[in-house]
Amino acid sequence: MLRRSWLLLAAVAAVAPAARADVKVHPIFSDNMVVQRDMDMVVWGTADAGEEVTVSLDDHKVSVTADKDGKWLAKLQQPKVDGKAHTLTVKGKNTVTFKNVAIGDVWVCSGQSNMEWRLSGLNKDDPAKNVTKDQGKEVAAKAANPNIRLFTVQKATSHEPLATVQVNEKAQEGMWFECKPETAINFSAVGYFFGRDIEASQKVPVGLISTNWGGTICEAWASKEALNAVPELKYFHENMEKAAKGFDAAKADDDFKKAIVKYDADMSKWKEAADKAKEEKKPAPRQPQKPVKATPLPGGPNVPSVLFNGMINPITKFKIKGALWYQGESNAGRAAEYYTLFPTMISDWRKRWGYDFPFFVVQLAPFQNGNSAAAQYAEVRDAQFQASKKLKHVGYATLSDIGNETDIHPQAKEPVGQRLALSARAIAYGEKVEWSGPVYKGMKADGSKVVLTFDHVGKGLTCTGDKLEGFTVCGEDKKFVPAEAKIVGDTVEVSAKGVDKPVAVRFGWVNFAKPDLNFANKDGLPAVPFRTDDFPLTTIKK
Residue 340, CA distances (Å) to 103, 108, 226, 335 in order = 36, 22, 12, 10
* Residue 78 DSSP SS3: coil
Smallest CA-to-CA distance from 337 within 243, 256, 205, 232 is with: 232
* Contact (CB, 8 A) for 302 and 215: yes
| Whether the Cβ atoms of residue 458 and residue 422 lie closer than 8 Å to each other | no
**Residues 450-483: pLDDT tens digits?**
999 999 999 999 999 999 999 999 999 999 999 9
The reported pLDDT for the residue numbered 130 is 64
Are 509 and 529 in contact, with CB atoms under 8 Å apart? Answer: yes
Domain positions in the chain are: 439-522
Say how far apart CA 275 and CA 259 lie, in whole Å. Answer: 24
Tens digit of pLDDT at every position of the chain (542 positions): 434 333 333 443 444 444 557 999 999 999 999 999 999 999 999 999 999 999 999 989 999 999 999 999 999 999 899 999 999 999 999 999 999 999 999 999 999 999 999 999 998 776 656 666 778 999 999 999 999 999 999 999 999 999 999 999 999 999 999 999 999 999 999 999 999 999 999 999 999 999 999 999 999 999 999 999 999 999 999 999 999 998 888 898 899 999 999 999 999 999 999 999 899 988 888 899 998 888 889 999 999 999 999 999 999 999 999 999 999 999 999 999 999 999 999 999 999 999 999 999 999 999 999 999 999 999 999 999 999 999 999 999 999 999 999 999 999 999 999 999 999 999 999 999 999 999 999 999 999 999 999 999 999 999 999 999 999 999 999 999 999 999 999 999 999 999 999 999 999 999 999 999 999 999 999 999 999 999 999 999 87
Report the pLDDT value the prediction gives residue 5, as an integer from 0 to 100.
Answer: 39
What does R_g of the chain's alpha carbons equal in angstroms? 28
Per-residue model confidence (pLDDT) at position 6? 38
301 near 220, Cβ under 8 Å? yes
User: Which positions ≥6 away from 389 have C-beta within 8 Å?
Assistant: none
Kindly give, in sequence order, each residue whose CB lies less than 8 Å from that of residue 136, ignoring residues fewer than 6 positions away: 118, 119, 120, 121, 122, 123, 185, 189
Give the number of other Cβ atoms within 10 Å of residue 363's Cβ.
26
d(CA 266, CA 481): 55
Nearest 5 degrees, angle CA 331-CA 220-CA 233?
Answer: 70
pTM of the model: 0.91
Question: In a 3-state reduction of DSSP, which class is residue 488?
Answer: strand
